[in-house]
């Protein structure tokens, strides 16, 4: 065998020996920097510190910020922004997915468009939602009685039925703790936190709302809203 043949055989042998290493290198994923991993695990801070509610069946989160409100698609990370005419005191999703906003008036929104608007009303809370309307309330104070709530029922066309003022339910020190409803109306809370839900160790956030599938939750911490991905959802 001449010298050229020897060189060719040697080159082929080297290429065969290096092939497994090349394949392993091609299959190995690019390393993730510690900074990227830490950022992905950290909670998302929501703009403003208003009301918050998860959609009852879709991966959507709505929250308010003054006269603005936002809807985040939890799967695509896209945010739709809206601006109203007045401050938004509270919001909540109806079982059919329509979004209710309350404040100086009550508004029902469907697919990013307002479907109705109520007459003037001083509302502070969405107490509960149902297919045939929502229970809401404004609040005041009476000497000798203390804090009072002024409950209303708002139908799907934004018509308001007003009920007599009444003291806050037992155990509710103020409007923010009022979880009551309206007698005879079967409603669901706009911010559901499953019984026994505990925030993971390492966070001081207080759970406010949990998504319908348990994959996401929002906590309040130092006056701000934080969105977390749950470790064990359905």
Q: What are phi and psi of 117, to 5 degrees?
A: -145, 135
Q: What is the dihedral of CA 78, 234, 111, 122, to 10 degrees?
A: -100
Work out the number of other CB atoms within 10 angstroms of the CB of residue 101. Answer: 25
Mean predicted lDDT score pLDDT of the chain: 82
Total domains in the chain come to: 1
CB of 98 closer than 8 Å to CB of 115: yes
> Domain of 90?
85-190
Tell me whether residue 164 is in a domain: yes
Tell me whether residue 92 is in a domain: yes
Tell me whether residue 105 is in a domain: yes
Close Cβ partners of 81 (under 8 Å, ≥ 6 residues apart): 68, 69, 70
- Supply the pLDDT for residue 31: 37
> What element of type H or E holds 31?
none
pTM of the model: 0.78
Close Cβ partners of 164 (under 8 Å, ≥ 6 residues apart): none
Distance, in Å, from the CA atom of 8 to the CA atom of 187, rounded to the nearest integer, reads 82
Tell me whether residue 205 is in a domain: no
Mean pLDDT (whole number) for 165-183: 83
Kindly indicate the confidence band of residue 112, based on its pLDDT and cuts at 50, 70 and 90: confident
Tell me whether residue 224 is in a domain: no
With tokens 């799907």, the residue in question is 156
């Amino acid at each position: 065998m001449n010298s050229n043949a020897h060189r060719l055989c040697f080159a082929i042998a080297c290429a065969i020996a290096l092939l497994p290493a090349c394949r392993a290198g091609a299959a190995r994923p690019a390393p993730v920097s510690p900074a990227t991993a830490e950022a992905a695990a950290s909670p998302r801070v929501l703009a403003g510190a208003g009301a918050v509610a998860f959609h009852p069946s879709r991966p959507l989160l709505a929250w308010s910020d003054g006269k603005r409100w936002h809807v985040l698609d939890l799967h695509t990370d896209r945010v739709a922004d809206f601006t109203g005419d007045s401050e938004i005191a509270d919001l909540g999703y109806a079982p059919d997915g329509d979004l209710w906003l309350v404040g100086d008036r009550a508004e029902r929104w469907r697919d990013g468009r307002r479907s109705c608007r109520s007459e003037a009303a001083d509302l502070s809370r969405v107490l509960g939602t149902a297919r045939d309307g929502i229970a809401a309330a404004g609040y005041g104070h009476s000497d000798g009685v203390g804090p009072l709530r002024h409950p209303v029922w708002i139908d799907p066309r934004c018509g308001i039925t007003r009920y007599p003022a009444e003291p806050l339910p037992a155990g509710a020190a103020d409007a923010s703790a009022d979880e009551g409803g309206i007698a005879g109306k079967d409603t669901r809370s706009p911010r559901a936190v499953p019984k026994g839900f505990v925030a993971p160790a390492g966070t001081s956030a207080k759970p406010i709302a949990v998504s319908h599938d348990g994959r996401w939750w929002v906590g309040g911490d130092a006056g701000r809203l934080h969105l977390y991905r749950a470790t064990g959802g359905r």
